[in-house]
Structure 1
Amino acid sequence: MFSRLAAKRLLEIRRVLRPSLPLSSPASTAARSFSTALNYHIDSPDNKPDAPWEFTAANMERVKEIMSHYPSNYKQSAVIPLLDLAQQQHGGWLPVSAMNAVAKVIEVAPIRVYEVATFYSMFNRTKVGKYHLLVCGTTPCMIRGSREIEEALLKHLGVKRNEVTKDGMFSVGEMECMEDVTPKRVVEIVEMLRRGEKPPVGTQNPNRIRSGPEGGNLTLLGECKPPPCRDLDAC
């Protein structure tokens, strides 16, 4: 019985991943709803495997320099710095054709590069704005109000998640984890960036000092006592 269930599940996954699946079919609806979990690719005019893409002459020199740090039998270890270089060249995001170019350089199957690019949130596989604003989607941050922060961002910018503003300046995505902000402060940060200003580093919540709790400590209000068996001053 278990083997039959496993085979059925495998068939469902294969159907979702089938590249030739018509977008109007009932199964394609399931594929789209499952897209977040599987991170599958859909061709578009500016993001398709057969689109011409290659490193510029200047970047090819950087490619050679990067590759010089790795033994010839471990070229695949250069995948992350090469993807980063390709993303910089392509305006902050990675089309599938750029990933294929990286696969050729390090001499691996393209799927090996896709695996890396879909795992790390630093790599963007769709167009992003000049400022790509990322809101944490983890449960602890949701409890702390990350959904309200995202809502404030989307409403202020007039976009949906993963969309780019018409002027190309901003886009909003999801990641783990983020600095501490408030809905009001996140809008202020957007306007600072729009004016070309640089927001301060660290927590953006005025009620917190560095990474301390909001409103100050509620426990450990006094000096911590050293362990009786060890002279800390002698260390």
Structure 2
Amino acid sequence: MLCKNNLKEEGFHKLQVYIDGLEEKDGALISVLHQAQEIFGYLPEEVQEYVAKNLNIPISKVYGVVSFYQFFTMVPKGKYPISVCMGTACYVRGAEKVLDSIKNYLGINMGETTEDGLFSLDTLRCVGACGMAPVVIIGKDVYGKEDVQDMKKILEKYRNLEK
């Protein structure tokens, strides 16, 4: 438990350094939340409270932003978060079948994380890459068209990185 607490303290220290380095704190909420999510992997209540306190804004405003923007998450994500675009072009070109293949292969549903903590699964409304439809994002890697037809092969690549 000590190790986990030390990591949490280190995370809050990194976040404080980031906040202290801001030239202007007014209007910095979204950038601070991005940084906090980068550090912690998600935005639990205690991180939101910390941000509110250090930016001198109400917790309700922080929560409102976190719950409004789909990018932010209040639950832990897998090491390799998977997002399937369900925008019109992707949907018409088979995104639902791709999503089903990922769910079946990983044995998880939307909003869940695999037991090994490697993958989590979500959908997005549109990623703006309609020419590549259907599009799947894993971490920061973008896959489209022919690539996503064999999601098992793509997901195995990430599993093999952990061996």
What TM-score does the superposition give when structure 1 sets the normalisation length?
A: 0.53
Kindly tell me the number of residue pairs found equivalent between the two proteins: 138
Aligned with 1:180 (options 115, 130, 144)? 144
User: Which one has a larger percent helix, Structure 1 or Structure 2?
Assistant: 2
Matched, 1:193 2:149: no
Deviation at residue 112 of structure 1 after TM alignment: 1.5
Deviations 1:130-155 (A, max 9, x none): 00000112233211111101000010
User: Which one has a larger percent strand, Structure 1 or Structure 2?
Assistant: 2
Aligned with 2:39 (options 89, 96, 111)? 89
RMSD of the alignment, in Å? 2.1
Note the residue ranges of structure 1 that are not aligned, 5 or more in a row.
1-52, 198-235
Give the alignment of 1:38-187 within 5 angstroms. 56-65=12-21, 67-68=22-23, 70=24, 75-90=25-40, 92-175=41-124, 176-177=126-127, 178=135, 179-181=143-145, 183-187=148-152
Note the residue ranges of structure 2 that are not aligned, 5 or more in a row.
1-7, 128-134, 136-142
Q: Secondary structure at the match of 1:77?
A: coil
State the alpha-carbon separation in 2 of the partners of residues 180 and 57 from structure 1: 38
State the alpha-carbon separation in 1 of the partners of residues 17 and 47 from structure 2: 17
Q: Which has the larger radius of gyration?
A: 1
Structure 2 counterpart of 1:120, which letter? Y
Deviations 1:20-74 (A, max 9, x none): xxxxxxxxxxxxxxxxxxxxxxxxxxxxxxxxx8753343222211x22x1xxxx
Deviation at residue 164 of structure 1 after TM alignment: 0.7
State the alpha-carbon separation in 2 of the partners of residues 159 and 169 from structure 1: 12
